[in-house]
Amino acid sequence: MKYRYTVVETLPLKKGASGSEFAKAFRELESLDGIAREYGVSPTSEIRIYRCITDPQKVKVVYRAEDMEALWQFYQDAEVHNTIKRVFDRFVDRERVQLEYWQEL
């Protein structure tokens, strides 16, 4: 499937947290695949997690979707929001998070 929109989050990790620990915890989102499909957004197989080689305390999470509105509705779902919040609260320094929105040309 080809996705038109990509959301990229650059996430600075809290002191002492590792990228691999974050990725493992983030896989909890696999339980949300059914909800993702209801909203027509990509399942977790279309979410990629990257560790920054020059700064191991940063990870990048890339979400892809065909419909940006559906992606926003998915993130507003209470179960989705709470699951993501739980993972981010544990690992991410929220004050330094950067979001980028990309559209394929």
Query: At 80, which CATH number?
Result: 3.30.70.100
Give the confidence band of 69 by pLDDT, cuts at 50, 70, 90: confident
Domain total of the chain: 1
Domain that holds residue 24: 5-9+18-92
Rg (CA), the chain: 13
Does residue 51 lie within any of the structural domains? yes
DSSP state of 14: P
Q: Does 100 map to a domain?
A: no
pTM of the model: 0.70
In a domain, 76, yes or no: yes
Tens digit of pLDDT for each residue in 2-26? 667 888 888 899 988 888 888 888 8
CA dihedral sign of residues 76, 79, 82, 85:
negative
Tokens of 94: 């929220």
Q: Would 105 be classed as within a structural domain?
A: no
pLDDT in the model for residue 38 = 84
- pLDDT, one tens digit per residue, over 52-63 is 888 888 898 888
Burial of 69 (0-12, 13-18, 19+ CB in 10 A): exposed
**Within 10 Å of residue 88's Cβ, how many Cβ atoms?**
19
